[in-house]
Amino acid sequence: MTEPQSGKVSEIILDTPPVNALGAGLRRHLLAAIEAADADPAVEAIVLRGAGSVFSAGADIAEFAADDMGEPWHPLVLDRIEACSKPVIAAITGVCLGGGLETALACHYRIADASARFALPEVTLGILPGAGGTQRLPRLMGAREALAMMTGGRMIDAGQALALGVVDEVVDGDVAAAARELAASAGRPPIRRTGALPVPADLAEAVAEARARLPVAALSTAPARIIDSVAAITPDFAAGCAVETALFSELRTTEAARALQHAFFGERKVSRIPGLARDVKARPVAKVGIVGGGLMGTGIAIALLNAGLSVIVVETRDDAREKSRETAAKAVERDAAKGRITQTVAESRIAALSMAAGLEALGDVDLVIEAVFEDLAAKEQVFTALDRIVRPDTILASNTSTLDLDAIAAFVADPSRVVGLHFFSPANIMRLLEVVRGAATGPDVLATAMAFAKRVGKVGVVSGVCDGFIGNRMFEEYLRQAYFLLEEGALPQGVDRAMERWGMAMGPLRVLDLAGQDIGWAIRKRRAVEQPDRPYSGIPDRVCELGRFGQKVGRGIYQYPDGRTAVADPLIDDLIVAYSQEIGVERRLIEDAEIVDRCLLALINEGARIVGEGIAYRPVDVDMIYLNGYGFARERGGPMFQADEIGLATVLEKIRALAAGRNGWAWEPAPLLVELAAQGKRFADPNV
């Protein structure tokens, strides 16, 4: 915090790099600076701005989980700004988010740079704006628009902020200079206290509409509490703020808030690679080759084009090559039609895509991503050829989801340049990118892969080499329990419904229908040879033997009359009941609680095993994979977060009870779980 004086103007600068977070220390300095400027008879106006290119990205989120959020309380500081007897002008550059926007709202006038962006995204952290935001923003822009912005965490640009009344002026050029000039002029704006503005005319109607839109069974109550807080707006500003404060205090202790904040910090934590020397630099990547123009390869190409990269897709089949090109071009054009990008940007992205029939076209790319059929012999053919064609410094990546990356790396002369880049379908939409480090993967190659993940808008998480890596290896145990539940008395719609109500975006059996039952069938055949001591239920194989390979053929576990909607099929229900009789299992009623317990505990136990083996660096890495790639609700935090919520001693007790029952061999407790439970620790403890 610096307070340079310029004649009649006191300039207060928020200066806590990198984003000027409004932690307790900065709030203390801000309060003192406002009080000093207000008491100084030589000061006639105050300019408040952020250091660097950012006004403020908001509060110090780590404080939300603390028992004591630190003094002074943010609303107190903002009330003091608003009560100042001299005009306070906010000069806004870059992002102005959360507590940063609440601070600007407490000022008497707001000037923004044309590139500034504004949001109150607290709902994404399971809380509400707790420093007067629910009371001030609706007074400026109307209750309907304010509720939409706060309950959705929506970002608006400077032009929208001006049109809606959030800011008073937008300028090109030096915003701080413009604010100083205005503050020093005789025509400086009068004091207008936002909290004293009238109650929004649309308040009652907007609140009713927002409540009607709330989902029936939401995992987070933050949207509902935001509406409640806005509904408390009356001419008595202090009374409304008291309601906001009470609701904020209620929300910040909820499981959803803890989980969402765990996700926020976790996505930043997984980008740090333990043991990687600080002087290791990522290589530049501008031109990328993709081998394979199928669904996955095309999705990867779209993601890369959207990130501004130059892409060459190699596909040997003429029809598939043309289809890939058309699909990518249509995706880009669709973004332009929806106003997400300009037509000029769309044209440049389409121009950055080229198609080729042979690998020779990849001679000068920086990175190659192989996305061919999941077969080791097919991978060998591609990598052996690439090793002869590309530059010696070109990174070679495989999109394999289960195969041994070290075996793939052995196909090239220099295995240090091989890394796994496991995208999730659809690759242009799903946020997860599993970055697989082989035994020989070079440190700079690993660093480049993680930087690449960030460049293309993905959450990159490092995995070691094992069958299925982190995500699919855990998903296998999840599925194993889902199928055993079918054997014992559940039906597909019951298993899926229980998991979806609990918080999974899609139940496990619907997921397999979507992915393709034949893919799982091929994996099970391979595992039957490699892991004969870990048998699966025979139910999914019986389904595949009927040619029911999932949604793509209109029939799988479910039937799909319209090609998309899963409908329970009595034929499959009968098949399941008959299979139970065949293997001598007496079917019983299985409650939702047991379904959730067994499926979740399977994820937790295998996740703990993976961390203990060093396949994942930290438990939080497991959580970020499940939140971003497997439809695990962010409000639930991930499997390892859930284990901590339950308590590791309780988790271990439940797993040991299951180990004593049917198919108990699948429930051997992970050594790390046993160790941490014995020490009274949590999975959060190893999250370095």
Is the confidence at residue 3, as pLDDT, over 60? no
pLDDT tens, residue by residue, 29-68: 999 999 999 999 999 999 999 999 999 999 888 887 666 6
pLDDT value at residue 312? 98
pLDDT value at residue 628? 96
Q: Torsions phi, psi of 112, nearest 5?
A: -125, 145
Task: Specify burial of residue 263 (Cβ count, 10 A radius: 0-12, 13-18, 19+).
Answer: buried
Average confidence (pLDDT) over 77-99: 97
pLDDT value at residue 5? 55
CA distance 315 to 327: 14
CB atoms within 10 A of CB 48: 27
Q: Which helix (H) or strand (E) holds 299?
A: helix 295-306
pLDDT tens, residue by residue, 264-287: 999 999 999 999 999 999 999 999
**Residues 50/93, Cβ–Cβ less than 8 Å:** yes
- Strands 287-291 and 367-370, by their bridges, are parallel
Is the confidence at residue 158, as pLDDT, over 70? yes
Superfamily classification of domain 5-253: 2-enoyl-CoA Hydratase; Chain A, domain 1 (3.90.226.10)
CB atoms within 10 A of CB 35: 12
Among candidates 78, 98, 79, which has minimal Cα distance to 20? Answer: 98
pLDDT value at residue 530? 83
Among candidates 384, 380, 389, 379, which has minimal Cα distance to 358? Answer: 389
Q: Torsions phi, psi of 640, nearest 5?
A: -75, -35
pLDDT value at residue 63? 80
CB atoms within 10 A of CB 562: 7
pLDDT tens, residue by residue, 129-138: 999 999 999 9
Is the confidence at residue 453, as pLDDT, over 60? yes
**Residues 672/618, Cβ–Cβ less than 8 Å:** no
**Residues 26/70, Cβ–Cβ less than 8 Å:** no
Average confidence (pLDDT) over 74-101: 96
Is the confidence at residue 483, as pLDDT, over 70? yes
pLDDT value at residue 686? 79
Is the confidence at residue 247, as pLDDT, over 70? yes
Whether 102 is a known active-site residue: answer yes
Q: Which residues of 2-16 are buried (b: 16+ CB within 10 A; e: fewer)?
A: ebeeeeebbbbbbeb
Domain parsing of the chain, residue ranges: 5-253, 287-463, 471-678
Percent of the chain with pLDDT over 70: 98
Among candidates 427, 531, 536, 525, which has minimal Cα distance to 475? Answer: 536
Which residues pair with residue 462 across a beta bridge? 435
Is the confidence at residue 2, as pLDDT, over 60? no
Average confidence (pLDDT) over 586-614: 98
Average pLDDT, rounded, for the chain: 95
**Residues 451/636, Cβ–Cβ less than 8 Å:** no
CA distance 418 to 380: 13
pLDDT value at residue 631? 94
CA distance 183 to 4: 14
pLDDT interval class at 71 (50, 70, 90): confident
Is the confidence at residue 7, as pLDDT, over 80? no
Among candidates 413, 408, 381, which has minimal Cα distance to 397? Answer: 408
pLDDT value at residue 66? 65
pLDDT interval class at 670 (50, 70, 90): very high
| Helix/strand/coil (H/E/C) assignment for every residue in 449-477 | HHHHHHHCCCEEEEECCCCCCCHHHHHHH
pLDDT value at residue 59? 87
pLDDT tens, residue by residue, 220-232: 999 999 999 999 9
pLDDT tens, residue by residue, 652-669: 999 999 999 999 999 999
Average confidence (pLDDT) over 472-484: 96
Is the confidence at residue 146, as pLDDT, over 70? yes
Which residues pair with residue 14 across a beta bridge? 50
Which amino acid is residue 423, in one-letter code?
F
pLDDT interval class at 454 (50, 70, 90): very high
Is the confidence at residue 73, as pLDDT, over 90? no
pLDDT value at residue 533? 85
- Strands 45-50 and 109-113, by their bridges, are unpaired
Structure token pair of residue 542: 């019986």
User: In the CATH scheme, what is the code of domain 471-678?
Assistant: 1.10.1040.50
pLDDT tens, residue by residue, 352-404: 999 999 999 999 999 999 999 888 999 999 999 999 999 999 999 999 988 99
Is the confidence at residue 76, as pLDDT, over 80? yes
Q: Are 5-253 and 471-678 the same fold in CATH?
A: no
CB atoms within 10 A of CB 413: 9
pTM of the model: 0.92
DSSP class per residue in 522-586: HHHHHHHHH-TTSPPPSHHHHHHHTT--BGGGTBSSSB-TTSSS-B--HHHHHHHHHHHHHTTPP
**Residues 149/129, Cβ–Cβ less than 8 Å:** no
CA distance 335 to 343: 9
pLDDT tens, residue by residue, 488-523: 999 999 999 999 999 999 999 999 999 889 888 888
Catalytic residue among 122, 315, 487, 606: 122
Is the confidence at residue 237, as pLDDT, over 80? yes
CB within 8 Å of 322: residues ≥ 6 apart: 355
Residue with tokens 């041994």, as numbered in its chain: 404
CA distance 444 to 429: 27
Superfamily classification of domain 287-463: NAD(P)-binding Rossmann-like Domain (3.40.50.720)
Catalytic residue among 82, 102, 315, 487: 102
Average confidence (pLDDT) over 539-566: 95
**Residues 311/331, Cβ–Cβ less than 8 Å:** no
pLDDT value at residue 186? 83
> Is the N-terminal amide bond of 72 cis, ω within 30° of 0?
yes
